[in-house]
Amino acid sequence: MLNENLVPDRISQVISRFAAEGRLTETQPYGNGHINDTFLLTFRTEDNHTKRYILQRMNNNIFKNPCQLMENVVNITEYLRKMILSQGGDPDRETLNVVRTLDGASYYEDDSHNFWRVFLFIEDTICLEMVESPRDFYDSGAALGNFQRMLADYPAETLHETIPDFHHTPSRFLAFQRAVQEDKLGRAAQAAEEIAFALAREKDTAALTDLLQAGKLPLRVTHNDTKLNNILFDKTTKKALCIVDLDTVMPGLSLYDFGDSIRFGASTGAEDEPDLSRIELDLTLFEAFTEGFLKGCAGSLTPEEIRLLPMGAKLMTYECGIRFLADFLEGDSYFKIHRENHNLDRARTQFKLVADMEKKWDQMAEIVEKCTERQVHTT
Ligand code: ADP
Ligand code: GN1
Ligand code: MG
């Protein structure tokens, strides 16, 4: 995080480089993302209106090439804009809109090599940290399936890989194993049970990548970070309106987007809930999301993708667990933390969910089957 004392001055200096409308009147840290530094900026325009923007300092420890990253974001949002317009939607609210710098660039690099970008703030939306009703989750599934479908013909070869091997679970496993072996902060003893849990599941790690390599699963343009708080809902209609956080839009598997949503949204507790008795997989929510996702994908998923949806959920949850745990062992340099052992708590919820999915495996498969049949009958 930026030094808090520096924030207001630094921010007004940074935002003066962008084509924002009016005079800056208020700055506040915003949202619950784990990666970028996000601020909500309020402006007063000359005709006395309020105009708000999202300013982000991109995390360049994680995103090594902010220039390529922004090239992706600009190209994707411009593509989506056209799609949304052709479908009669409102592109100012249904996709992110990049605000340029005064000299027309999509980001600004300051003297300390911080990279900044600005988006229009999407007004009259809500962002959920927990699913409030199956209906919301059905709707996020439909929105994410639709997002994938809108990008189905996007020229994937033009996308930069912003984080190499982002969902390559076997590589994530190797990185995790290395963190355990090095144990550079002496924290492994504290997480012995979780480490054993993760190591015991090594054989699952290649379940999807092997099929991808064998040509049995299609590579698509996917979002890759589909947790609930990356979806904005319209305040009035309560419908999922806009998918944000486009930093990891890259070629991937539809199962990554499905799975990542389930691991976050179909849990009965928060991602960092310390009381594990409150964490399990809610099958009603699993069903709601599955139904919505299948609807949003509108018949574009192959039978193999559909069969593997439960595996997508389990593997994305497991992968996120080993990422949190590796970060805990390595000193919490990747995910932002707000308390001691935060990443360990996060890893624990993920593993509790994985264990619960293993128990509910047959039910998950039955739900997928049931939703697929229903889909066939309604189309
Ligand atoms: P991170 O990569 O750190 O997760 P995000 O891009 O997801 O950062 O932004 C953090 C949060 O800010 C999001 O979860 C969302 O609530 C909010 N947000 C981001 N962009 C916008 C926007 N254009 N309009 C309204 N809210 C936004
Ligand atoms: C991060 O950026 P954010 O907070 O939406 C992470 C995801 C993890 C998620 C866990 C670029 O998402 O991969 O699943 O935290 N994003 C990146 O909550 O690593
Ligand atoms: Mg986010």
> In 3D, which of 253, 266, 256, 265 has the Cα closest to residue 360?
266
Q: Contact 172/166 with Cβ under 8 angstroms?
A: no
Q: Measured in angstroms, how far is the CA atom of residue 328 from the centroid of ligand 1?
A: 24
**What is the residue with the minimal CA distance to atom 15 of ligand 2?**
34
* pLDDT beyond 80 at 201: yes
Q: Contact 55/118 with Cβ under 8 angstroms?
A: yes
Q: How confident is the model at residue 326 (pLDDT cuts 50, 70, 90)?
A: very high
Q: Measured in angstroms, how far is the CA atom of residue 48 from the centroid of ligand 3?
A: 32
Mean pLDDT across 324-352: 98
**Any ligand 1 atom below 6 A from CB of 230:** yes
DSSP string, 14-71: HHTTB---SEEEEEEE----SSSEEEEEEEE-TTS-EEEEEEEEE-TTT-S-HHHHHH
pLDDT attached to residue 20: 95
pLDDT attached to residue 171: 98
pLDDT tens string 241-280: 999 999 999 999 999 999 999 999 999 999 999 999 999 9
**C-alpha gyration radius of the chain:** 21
Q: Measured in angstroms, how far is the CA atom of residue 254 from the centroid of ligand 2?
A: 17
**Rounded Cα–Cα distance for residues 10 and 201 (Å):** 46
Dihedral angle, C-alpha 137, 139, 141, 147, nearest 10 ° = -140
**Rounded Cα–Cα distance for residues 6 and 58 (Å):** 17
Q: How confident is the model at residue 6 (pLDDT cuts 50, 70, 90)?
A: low
DSSP E strand boundaries for 131-226: 220-222
pLDDT attached to residue 98: 98
* pLDDT beyond 90 at 8: no
**Any ligand 1 atom below 6 A from CB of 242:** no
pLDDT attached to residue 137: 98
**Any ligand 1 atom below 6 A from CB of 77:** no
